[in-house]
Structure 1
């Protein structure tokens, strides 16, 4: 789901999973959503000025920045060092992009919370990346705060995979099998 917003910093889009829609709208309407614990946040962005700005915004949301890094590989290493509550990561970075780093972090720690940030409009659905949300730059403070708060909601367990069903029609026999080999 994508939402369009306009504000003093320009217009921007926010892509969120449907279950966070109400929280997002409450925050955008100015209702206080910062009732969560103080979070430890790792920031990864290849543009130093963007990383610094995001760190200041995270501080304004009353959360702690554990480190600001500039590549996907550094994000993975910093995640291992700090085990932050949330990772705020640029979608496009040199050497190892944010979506690949996100998938790697989630493969090592399925409970990890990653929010991707992109200068491109809705580059990928959050479900495809494993990210909690994808924010479009520039990110306004109320949107960042809502995304951080939503990221700390308990993750819904994924449905178990469907049973694998043999699609071979009944009575079909592979003629290349030696006689007596089929069961």
Structure 2
């Protein structure tokens, strides 16, 4: 089909290159600001509830197989580009493994992305007063956890390295080299 369209670009029967839609169109110049205008701030809760219900209906039901509970309690927000996968496929995988997909970052336990977050988002996560720790991880954390049959540690999949949070082995390494410079962030 594409080859046929490309070969007939000069032909007058080609609707792409020989359309009269411009002459048949009615153009309107608006006196508005150029932005969409609303009647003010309304109650968006019914809209968001309806949207969430429709989106949930599009996702598959959980299977009763062995991988169904691997991500139980995990609330995932997908932020931006995912390498080697699409967001639709990742949402399906998370849902089948027992996790929940969120459409806003608030309330998420894990933010899934293959790229670094912007400075503002990183600042918000590191300095924000959140109820629980938010892990910013690569998509491989999801697939590797499912393959392992258990929830793996997020540390090796993390894109956000907070150098102020050290574990015991990091502290022991620092104390064994007394002349090493102290790293401040």
TM range (shorter): 0.3 to 0.5
Determine which structure has greater relative contact order: mean sequence separation of CA pairs < 8 Å that are 6+ residues apart, divided by chain length: 1
Higher strand share: 1
Query: Normalised by the size of structure 2, how large is the TM-score?
Result: 0.36
Greater Rg by CA: 2
Query: Normalised by the size of structure 1, how large is the TM-score?
Result: 0.36
